[in-house]
Chain A
Amino acid sequence: MIWFTRRLRRLAPQLIALAIILGLISLMAPGFLTISVQNGRLYGSLIDILLRAAPVALLTVGMTLVIATRGIDLSIGAVIAICGAVAATLITDGYPLPVVIAVSLGVGIVCGLWNGVLVAVLDIQPIIATLILMVAGRGIAQLITEGVILTFNDDTFAALGSGSMAGIPIPIYLWVGTALIIGLLMRRTALGFLIEATGINRRAASLAGVRARFLLFSAYAISGLCAAIAGMIVTADIRGADANNAGLWLELDAILAVVVGGTSLNGGRFSITASLIGALIIQSINTGILVSGFPPEFNLIIKAGIIIVVLTLQSPAIMTVFGFIKASRRSDKLNHGTKEATR
C-alpha cells in the first residue's frame, strides 16, 4: 500500500497534466471520450491516441533507459527509417514474415550497439556519438531503398500497423507489451537500479563493481530494438518505407516525453511509466488539436506552448521554490505533531 501511494505521488504531476489536457479537449470537442465498437474493433479518439502514440511510446521506453544512464539517443528516428527500409526490402523480395521481423530487429540492435561502442568504449559524449548515426542514418536508409519510397502489398506484415486483435489495434499490444517486458526486467531485477547508479556517477558505479560498460551497451541496444519495432509499425502502417520522412523528429518527441515524464536529462532516477504518460500527453495534444477543429497551422505552436508551460513548471528553479514551500509546511506539521505528542 505504501508502495502504491509512493508510486502515485511520483506519477501525480503527469497524471494530472494528462487529465487536464483530456478534460480541455473534451470541453472543446464533445464526443471526444466516447468509444464505440464497429466491425469488432474499438473506435474512438481515446483509442486513436493509444494507437497513434505507439511509435513515440516505443521510442520513449528505450530513450528513458538511455537518459537514465546520463545519455541521449538522437539516432532513433534514423534507425526507424533504416529498419523500415530493411523490412520493406525484405518483404518485397518475398522473405517470410518471421525472417523479416527478426532481421529488422537485428538491424535495430546493431544500430544501438554501434552507438553503444561510441559511448561506452570510445567515451564519446552521447549527444555527438548518436548524432553521427542521425546524420548518416537517413542516407543509409535511402541507400537500402535506392532512393525511392518502397511500397509493398503484404497483408500479414501490414497487420502490424493496421490490424487488430480482440478489438484492440495491434500496435497498442506491441508498445504496451514491450513497455511491460522492459519495465519488469528493470524493476523486478536489479538492472534498473544499476542503470540509475551508472547514470548518477559512472566512475563510482564502476568502482563499486557495477559493469557500467555492459549496462551502457544494453541501454543503447534496447533503444535500437524499440526503434526497430517502431520502424516496423510505421512502415506497416503506410505499407511503404519512406527513407526521408519515416520517424522524422520522433526522437525529439521521445526526448520531450521523457522530460515531461519527469526523468532528469542528467541521468539517475527514471520511471518508464511516467515517460509513457508523457508520450500519451504529447499524443493527446496532437490528436486533441485535430479533433478540436483548430486549423492545422496552429498544431505546432499550441504544442510548443503547452510543452513550454510543462517544462517551466518542472524546471529545477521552480522545483526548488516548491521544495521550500513543501519543506516549511512539513516542518510546521512536524512541530504541530510534536506538540500534540508532548501534550
Chain B
Amino acid sequence: MIHARNLPFVTTLAIFVIAYGLCVLQFPNMLSTRVIGNLLTDNAFLGIAAVGMTFVILSGGIDLSVGSVIAFTSVFVAVMVGSFGVHPLTAFLAALVISTLFGCLMGAMIRYLLIPPFVVTLAGMFLARGAAYLVSTQSVPITHEFIDTMLGFYIRFPGGGRLTLLAMVMLVVFAVGIVVASRTRFGANVYAIGGNLQSAELMGVPVGATTIRIYALSGFLSGLAGIVYTLYTSSGYSLATVGVELDAIAAVVIGGTLLTGGVGLIAGTFVGILLQGLIQTYIVFDGTLSSWWTKIVIGILLFVFIVLQRTIIWYSDRRLAVRQLKEV
C-alpha cells in the first residue's frame, strides 16, 4: 500500500515511465544511452537549482532569486577567469561564498523582518540581476586549461553515451539532498517548519537558524548551478537564465512537493526535471513542433499534477474524517 502522501511522486514516476515508453515507441533511438546522457547534462544546472528550491518549498517558502543568482555567478566567474586571469577554482570558491551569503541575507530578512519570502526573494532577484549587469552586460567567453580538462572528464556508457562531470555533479547534489532531507536533523526541521511553523517553534525547532540555513542552501546551490551553467555554455552572460526559477518551481511541483510546505520528496524533483527534459528531447526529435509547445505542455502537466494533489488531499481528509467518526 502506497502512502497517500507519496502518491504524487509515484504518479510522476509512472507518467515519466509511460511517456518515455511512448517516445521510444515512436522514436526507438530515444532509448540510447546518448540521449539519456545528454538529458542529464543539459538539465544539470536546472536540477541543482531545483534541489535548493525543493528545500525552500518544503519549508513553506519560495525563492524567486534563483535565475538571477545563476546569471550573476556565471558572469562573475567568466569575468574573474576571463578578464582577471584568476584560477577557476578560486573564482568558483568566491562565487559560492557570495551566493551563500546572499541566501543567508535573504533568510535573515524573511525571519527577522517578517517580510514574506515571495517579496524578499523578488527584491533579491532584482538585486542579483542588477549586480550581474554591473559586472558585465556583454557575453563573456571563458577559456582555461583547467576548465577544458574538467569538461573533458566523463564516464563512457556502453552504447556511446557520456556521463559528463556536470551530470555527475547534479547526481551527487540530488543524492546528498535526499540524505539531508530524510536522514538529518536539519531535514526534519525543514519538514517541521513547512508543516506548521507555530507547532515547530513550540516544539523547540530552531526556526531562525533553520530558515537562514534553508535560504543559504538555496543560494549555495544556485551558485553551484551558476558554475555548472558557466561550464555548460563556456561563457557568462548577465541576461541568461531568465525565468529558471519558474522551471525549477514547476519541476518541484510536478515532482509531487506541496507548495504549502511540509510534504514532498527530493527524488520527486529529480523525476520532475527528467520529465521536463523528456518533453524538450521529444520536441527536438519530432522536429516539426515549435519550442513554445514545451511551455504549454509544462503548463498542462502543472495543472494535472496540482489537481491530482488537491484530489489526494480531499480524499485523505475525508478518510481521516470517516475514521474519526467511526471512533466516536
Contact = CB atoms under 8 A, between A and B. Distances in A.
A132 B130 contact: no
Contact of A139 (B116, B119, B296, B302): B296
Given A142-B292, A252-B122, A315-B114, A136 B137 contact: no
Interface stretch (A22-30, A50-58, A218-226, A301-309): A301-309
B119 A255 contact: yes
A123 B310 contact: yes
A301 B130 contact: yes
- Chain B interface main SS type: helix
A311 B117 CA distance: 12
B89 interface: no
Contacts of B249: 131
Interface string B290-321: 10111110111011001100100000000000
Nearest to A316: B114
Interface residues of B, number: 42
Given A72-B118, A142-B290, A318-B113, A301 B127 contact: yes
B259 A127 contact: yes
B237 to A, nearest CB: 14
A303 B307 CA distance: 38
Given A142-B290, A143-B292, A305-B127, A315 B113 contact: yes
- Chain A interface main SS type: helix
Interface string A5-27: 00000000000000000000000
B112 interface: yes
Given A142-B290, A143-B292, A304-B126, A129 B306 contact: yes
Contacts of A132: 299, 302-303, 306
Interface in A284-343: 297-305, 307-308, 311-312, 315-318
Nearest to B113: A315
A256 interface: yes
A130 to B, nearest CB: 11
Contacts of A136: 295-296, 298-300, 302
A276 interface: no
Contacts, number: 122
Interface in A56-112: 72
Given A122-B310, A255-B122, A316 B115 contact: yes
Interface in B95-148: 109, 112-116, 118-120, 122-123, 125-127, 129-131, 133-134, 137
B250 A135 contact: yes
Nearest to A265: B116
A303 B113 contact: no
B80 interface: no
Contact of B62 (A118, A127, A129, A297): A127
Given A300-B129, A300-B130, A300-B133, A128 B114 contact: no
A49 interface: no
Nearest to B302: A132
Q: Identify the 5 closest CB pairs spanning chains A and B, nearest first.
A: A136-B299, A301-B130, A300-B130, A139-B295, A304-B126
Interface of B: 62, 64, 109, 112-116, 118-120, 122-123, 125-127, 129-131, 133-134, 137, 246, 249-250, 253, 259-260, 290, 292-296, 298-300, 302-303, 306-307, 310
29 contacts: A118-B306, A124-B307, A125-B259, A128-B302, A129-B306, A131-B302, A132-B303, A135-B302, A136-B299, A139-B292, A140-B296, A142-B290, A147-B290, A256-B119, A265-B118, A300-B129, A301-B131, A304-B126, A304-B127, A307-B126, A308-B123, A311-B113, A311-B119, A312-B113, A312-B115, A315-B113, A315-B114, A316-B113, A316-B115
